[in-house]
Structure 1
Amino acid sequence: MTTIGYPSATDELEMLTDRDREDPLDAMAPVTDSETLLSLVDAVTQVHVSPQVREYLLKLVRATRTLPSVRLGASPRAGLHLVRAAKASAALAGRDYVIPDDVVALAAPVLAHRLLLTPGAHLDAAQLIEGLVRLSPVPRAPRP
Protein backbone atom coordinates (compact mmCIF):
# COMPACT_ATOMS: atom_id res chain seq x y z
CA MET A 1 0.00 0.00 0.00
CA THR A 2 1.24 3.47 -0.84
CA THR A 3 1.14 6.16 1.79
CA ILE A 4 2.28 9.72 1.35
CA GLY A 5 3.13 10.77 4.90
CA TYR A 6 4.60 14.15 5.77
CA PRO A 7 7.70 15.84 4.30
CA SER A 8 10.84 16.35 6.36
CA ALA A 9 11.13 19.64 8.26
CA THR A 10 13.71 20.85 5.71
CA ASP A 11 11.44 20.03 2.75
CA GLU A 12 8.45 21.57 4.46
CA LEU A 13 10.38 24.78 5.19
CA GLU A 14 11.50 24.90 1.55
CA MET A 15 7.89 24.47 0.45
CA LEU A 16 6.73 27.30 2.71
CA THR A 17 9.47 29.54 1.31
CA ASP A 18 9.21 28.69 -2.40
CA ARG A 19 5.46 28.37 -2.77
CA ASP A 20 4.06 31.21 -0.74
CA ARG A 21 3.73 33.49 -3.80
CA GLU A 22 2.82 31.07 -6.59
CA ASP A 23 1.27 27.65 -6.81
CA PRO A 24 3.16 25.14 -9.00
CA LEU A 25 -0.22 23.68 -9.98
CA ASP A 26 -0.92 26.90 -11.90
CA ALA A 27 1.81 25.96 -14.40
CA MET A 28 0.33 22.54 -15.15
CA ALA A 29 -1.17 21.91 -18.58
CA PRO A 30 -4.10 19.55 -19.18
CA VAL A 31 -3.20 16.05 -20.35
CA THR A 32 -6.64 15.27 -21.73
CA ASP A 33 -10.00 16.84 -22.43
CA SER A 34 -13.40 16.29 -20.85
CA GLU A 35 -14.68 14.22 -23.80
CA THR A 36 -11.82 11.73 -23.49
CA LEU A 37 -12.21 11.58 -19.74
CA LEU A 38 -15.94 10.86 -20.04
CA SER A 39 -15.26 8.08 -22.54
CA LEU A 40 -12.76 6.51 -20.13
CA VAL A 41 -15.28 6.68 -17.30
CA ASP A 42 -17.86 5.04 -19.56
CA ALA A 43 -15.39 2.28 -20.48
CA VAL A 44 -14.81 1.50 -16.80
CA THR A 45 -18.54 1.26 -16.14
CA GLN A 46 -18.76 -1.42 -18.85
CA VAL A 47 -16.24 -3.72 -17.10
CA HIS A 48 -17.91 -6.97 -15.97
CA VAL A 49 -17.81 -8.20 -12.37
CA SER A 50 -18.87 -11.82 -11.93
CA PRO A 51 -21.21 -12.82 -9.11
CA GLN A 52 -18.37 -14.80 -7.52
CA VAL A 53 -16.08 -11.76 -7.41
CA ARG A 54 -18.90 -9.55 -6.09
CA GLU A 55 -19.59 -12.06 -3.29
CA TYR A 56 -15.88 -12.24 -2.45
CA LEU A 57 -15.67 -8.45 -2.28
CA LEU A 58 -18.81 -8.28 -0.15
CA LYS A 59 -17.43 -10.86 2.30
CA LEU A 60 -14.28 -8.76 2.73
CA VAL A 61 -16.25 -5.57 3.32
CA ARG A 62 -18.65 -7.22 5.76
CA ALA A 63 -15.79 -8.94 7.60
CA THR A 64 -14.35 -5.53 8.53
CA ARG A 65 -17.47 -4.99 10.65
CA THR A 66 -16.82 -8.04 12.83
CA LEU A 67 -13.15 -7.55 13.72
CA PRO A 68 -12.60 -7.03 17.46
CA SER A 69 -10.16 -4.17 16.79
CA VAL A 70 -12.64 -2.28 14.63
CA ARG A 71 -15.20 0.04 16.18
CA LEU A 72 -16.75 1.01 12.83
CA GLY A 73 -16.26 -1.17 9.74
CA ALA A 74 -16.46 -0.43 6.04
CA SER A 75 -19.85 0.83 4.88
CA PRO A 76 -21.87 -0.38 1.89
CA ARG A 77 -20.63 2.73 0.09
CA ALA A 78 -17.05 1.57 0.72
CA GLY A 79 -17.98 -1.66 -1.06
CA LEU A 80 -19.25 0.34 -4.04
CA HIS A 81 -15.97 2.21 -4.20
CA LEU A 82 -14.02 -1.04 -4.06
CA VAL A 83 -16.07 -2.42 -6.97
CA ARG A 84 -15.43 0.76 -8.97
CA ALA A 85 -11.71 0.72 -8.19
CA ALA A 86 -11.47 -2.96 -9.19
CA LYS A 87 -13.24 -2.20 -12.46
CA ALA A 88 -10.83 0.65 -13.17
CA SER A 89 -7.89 -1.63 -12.36
CA ALA A 90 -9.18 -4.24 -14.80
CA ALA A 91 -9.67 -1.63 -17.53
CA LEU A 92 -6.15 -0.29 -16.99
CA ALA A 93 -4.86 -3.85 -17.34
CA GLY A 94 -6.67 -4.14 -20.67
CA ARG A 95 -9.41 -6.45 -19.40
CA ASP A 96 -13.16 -6.04 -19.68
CA TYR A 97 -13.71 -8.13 -16.55
CA VAL A 98 -12.55 -7.98 -12.92
CA ILE A 99 -10.48 -10.78 -11.43
CA PRO A 100 -10.07 -11.47 -7.71
CA ASP A 101 -6.50 -10.10 -7.88
CA ASP A 102 -7.96 -6.66 -8.68
CA VAL A 103 -9.94 -6.79 -5.43
CA VAL A 104 -6.99 -8.17 -3.44
CA ALA A 105 -4.67 -5.42 -4.67
CA LEU A 106 -7.12 -2.62 -3.86
CA ALA A 107 -8.84 -3.83 -0.67
CA ALA A 108 -6.44 -2.14 1.77
CA PRO A 109 -5.91 1.12 -0.18
CA VAL A 110 -9.67 1.58 -0.70
CA LEU A 111 -10.99 0.35 2.65
CA ALA A 112 -8.33 1.13 5.27
CA HIS A 113 -9.10 4.82 5.72
CA ARG A 114 -12.80 3.98 6.12
CA LEU A 115 -12.33 1.96 9.32
CA LEU A 116 -12.50 3.40 12.81
CA LEU A 117 -10.31 1.30 15.09
CA THR A 118 -10.68 0.71 18.80
CA PRO A 119 -8.20 2.52 21.06
CA GLY A 120 -6.41 -0.74 21.89
CA ALA A 121 -5.94 -1.95 18.30
CA HIS A 122 -2.52 -3.55 17.84
CA LEU A 123 -2.48 -3.29 14.03
CA ASP A 124 -3.33 -0.42 11.72
CA ALA A 125 -6.37 -0.61 9.44
CA ALA A 126 -4.36 -1.61 6.35
CA GLN A 127 -2.76 -4.50 8.26
CA LEU A 128 -6.18 -5.66 9.46
CA ILE A 129 -7.56 -5.66 5.91
CA GLU A 130 -4.47 -7.40 4.54
CA GLY A 131 -5.01 -10.09 7.19
CA LEU A 132 -8.63 -10.48 6.13
CA VAL A 133 -7.55 -10.86 2.52
CA ARG A 134 -4.99 -13.53 3.46
CA LEU A 135 -7.61 -15.50 5.40
CA SER A 136 -10.40 -15.22 2.81
CA PRO A 137 -10.62 -17.92 0.16
CA VAL A 138 -10.21 -16.35 -3.28
CA PRO A 139 -12.84 -17.46 -5.80
CA ARG A 140 -11.99 -18.89 -9.16
CA ALA A 141 -14.31 -16.73 -11.21
CA PRO A 142 -14.90 -17.81 -14.78
CA ARG A 143 -14.21 -15.29 -17.54
CA PRO A 144 -17.41 -13.73 -18.88
Structure 2
Amino acid sequence: SADDLAKKIELTASVYGSALRVLERLNAPTKEGWSDVALAAEFKRASPSKGDIATELNLREQVQAYADAGASMISVLTEPKWFKGSLDDMMAAREVVEGMSQRPAILRKDFIIDVYQLLEARAYGADCVLLIVALLSQEQLIELIDATHNLGMCA
Protein backbone atom coordinates (compact mmCIF):
# COMPACT_ATOMS: atom_id res chain seq x y z
CA SER A 1 0.00 0.00 0.00
CA ALA A 2 1.01 3.64 -0.31
CA ASP A 3 1.21 3.86 3.50
CA ASP A 4 3.62 0.92 3.62
CA LEU A 5 5.76 2.54 0.92
CA ALA A 6 5.78 5.84 2.84
CA LYS A 7 7.20 3.96 5.85
CA LYS A 8 9.77 2.23 3.64
CA ILE A 9 10.76 5.62 2.16
CA GLU A 10 11.42 6.90 5.69
CA LEU A 11 13.46 3.80 6.51
CA THR A 12 15.44 4.02 3.26
CA ALA A 13 16.14 7.72 3.89
CA SER A 14 17.28 6.98 7.45
CA VAL A 15 19.78 4.40 6.16
CA TYR A 16 20.92 5.99 2.88
CA GLY A 17 20.02 9.65 3.22
CA SER A 18 18.35 11.86 0.65
CA ALA A 19 18.37 11.25 -3.08
CA LEU A 20 21.39 12.63 -4.91
CA ARG A 21 21.10 15.89 -6.76
CA VAL A 22 21.43 14.17 -10.10
CA LEU A 23 22.32 17.18 -12.26
CA GLU A 24 25.11 18.10 -9.86
CA ARG A 25 26.29 14.49 -9.93
CA LEU A 26 26.31 14.40 -13.72
CA ASN A 27 28.35 17.62 -13.80
CA ALA A 28 30.92 16.38 -11.27
CA PRO A 29 33.87 14.50 -12.77
CA THR A 30 34.11 10.88 -11.65
CA LYS A 31 37.59 10.19 -12.87
CA GLU A 32 40.60 12.45 -13.15
CA GLY A 33 40.57 14.13 -16.55
CA TRP A 34 36.84 13.50 -17.10
CA SER A 35 35.73 17.07 -16.47
CA ASP A 36 33.23 17.06 -19.32
CA VAL A 37 32.20 13.40 -19.41
CA ALA A 38 29.26 11.84 -17.59
CA LEU A 39 28.93 8.12 -18.15
CA ALA A 40 25.60 6.34 -17.66
CA ALA A 41 25.58 2.55 -17.40
CA GLU A 42 22.62 0.17 -17.47
CA PHE A 43 21.87 -3.16 -15.82
CA LYS A 44 19.51 -5.12 -18.05
CA ARG A 45 18.89 -8.87 -18.03
CA ALA A 46 16.58 -9.07 -21.04
CA SER A 47 14.60 -6.99 -23.53
CA PRO A 48 11.56 -7.58 -25.75
CA SER A 49 13.65 -7.17 -28.90
CA LYS A 50 16.75 -9.17 -27.88
CA GLY A 51 15.24 -11.71 -25.47
CA ASP A 52 17.56 -12.89 -22.70
CA ILE A 53 20.75 -10.83 -22.64
CA ALA A 54 22.46 -11.48 -19.31
CA THR A 55 20.12 -13.40 -17.03
CA GLU A 56 22.98 -14.98 -15.05
CA LEU A 57 24.91 -11.73 -14.55
CA ASN A 58 25.64 -10.89 -10.91
CA LEU A 59 24.02 -7.50 -10.32
CA ARG A 60 26.23 -6.54 -7.38
CA GLU A 61 29.44 -7.32 -9.26
CA GLN A 62 28.26 -5.51 -12.38
CA VAL A 63 27.14 -2.40 -10.50
CA GLN A 64 30.47 -2.34 -8.66
CA ALA A 65 32.31 -2.60 -12.00
CA TYR A 66 30.23 0.26 -13.45
CA ALA A 67 30.93 2.44 -10.41
CA ASP A 68 34.65 1.61 -10.47
CA ALA A 69 34.75 2.48 -14.18
CA GLY A 70 33.44 5.97 -13.39
CA ALA A 71 29.72 5.77 -14.10
CA SER A 72 27.88 8.88 -12.91
CA MET A 73 24.53 7.12 -13.17
CA ILE A 74 23.43 3.50 -13.17
CA SER A 75 20.10 2.67 -14.75
CA VAL A 76 18.40 -0.41 -13.32
CA LEU A 77 15.53 -2.04 -15.19
CA THR A 78 12.78 -2.95 -12.73
CA GLU A 79 10.13 -4.25 -15.15
CA PRO A 80 9.77 -8.02 -14.52
CA LYS A 81 8.01 -9.47 -17.57
CA TRP A 82 10.02 -8.15 -20.51
CA PHE A 83 13.24 -7.03 -18.84
CA LYS A 84 13.39 -9.55 -15.95
CA GLY A 85 14.14 -6.79 -13.47
CA SER A 86 12.81 -6.05 -10.00
CA LEU A 87 12.65 -3.43 -7.30
CA ASP A 88 14.99 -5.64 -5.29
CA ASP A 89 17.55 -5.24 -8.10
CA MET A 90 17.38 -1.48 -7.69
CA MET A 91 17.74 -1.70 -3.90
CA ALA A 92 20.73 -4.02 -4.32
CA ALA A 93 22.33 -1.55 -6.72
CA ARG A 94 21.80 1.24 -4.19
CA GLU A 95 23.38 -0.89 -1.45
CA VAL A 96 26.47 -1.54 -3.60
CA VAL A 97 27.21 2.15 -4.16
CA GLU A 98 26.52 3.22 -0.57
CA GLY A 99 29.47 4.99 1.02
CA MET A 100 31.29 5.81 -2.23
CA SER A 101 32.56 9.38 -2.17
CA GLN A 102 31.38 9.98 -5.75
CA ARG A 103 28.63 7.39 -5.85
CA PRO A 104 26.63 7.02 -9.05
CA ALA A 105 23.01 8.08 -9.08
CA ILE A 106 20.56 5.17 -9.29
CA LEU A 107 17.85 5.52 -11.93
CA ARG A 108 14.68 3.43 -12.00
CA LYS A 109 13.97 2.45 -15.60
CA ASP A 110 10.46 1.11 -16.10
CA PHE A 111 7.16 1.97 -17.72
CA ILE A 112 6.15 4.51 -15.07
CA ILE A 113 2.55 5.59 -15.41
CA ASP A 114 1.42 6.45 -11.87
CA VAL A 115 2.55 8.03 -8.61
CA TYR A 116 2.59 4.68 -6.79
CA GLN A 117 5.53 3.60 -8.96
CA LEU A 118 7.37 6.76 -7.92
CA LEU A 119 6.80 5.87 -4.27
CA GLU A 120 8.25 2.43 -5.03
CA ALA A 121 11.23 4.02 -6.74
CA ARG A 122 12.14 6.19 -3.76
CA ALA A 123 11.41 3.41 -1.25
CA TYR A 124 13.83 1.13 -3.08
CA GLY A 125 16.67 3.64 -3.33
CA ALA A 126 16.22 5.50 -6.62
CA ASP A 127 17.66 8.99 -7.01
CA CYS A 128 15.83 9.53 -10.29
CA VAL A 129 13.35 7.92 -12.65
CA LEU A 130 12.86 7.67 -16.37
CA LEU A 131 9.54 9.04 -17.59
CA ILE A 132 8.72 7.98 -21.14
CA VAL A 133 6.89 10.95 -22.62
CA ALA A 134 5.30 8.88 -25.41
CA LEU A 135 3.41 6.82 -22.80
CA LEU A 136 1.93 9.78 -20.94
CA SER A 137 -0.56 12.54 -21.54
CA GLN A 138 0.62 16.05 -20.75
CA GLU A 139 -1.48 15.97 -17.56
CA GLN A 140 0.08 12.70 -16.46
CA LEU A 141 3.57 13.95 -17.23
CA ILE A 142 3.09 17.12 -15.18
CA GLU A 143 1.62 15.11 -12.28
CA LEU A 144 4.48 12.60 -12.34
CA ILE A 145 7.20 15.26 -12.59
CA ASP A 146 5.68 17.15 -9.65
CA ALA A 147 5.40 13.96 -7.59
CA THR A 148 8.97 12.98 -8.48
CA HIS A 149 10.28 16.33 -7.28
CA ASN A 150 8.13 16.17 -4.13
CA LEU A 151 9.84 12.87 -3.31
CA GLY A 152 13.25 14.53 -3.72
CA MET A 153 14.08 12.75 -6.97
CA CYS A 154 14.71 13.92 -10.53
CA ALA A 155 12.95 12.81 -13.69
More helix by share: 1
Bigger share in strand = 2
Q: Radius of gyration: which is bigger? A: 1
Q: Per the shorter chain, which TM-score range?
A: under 0.3
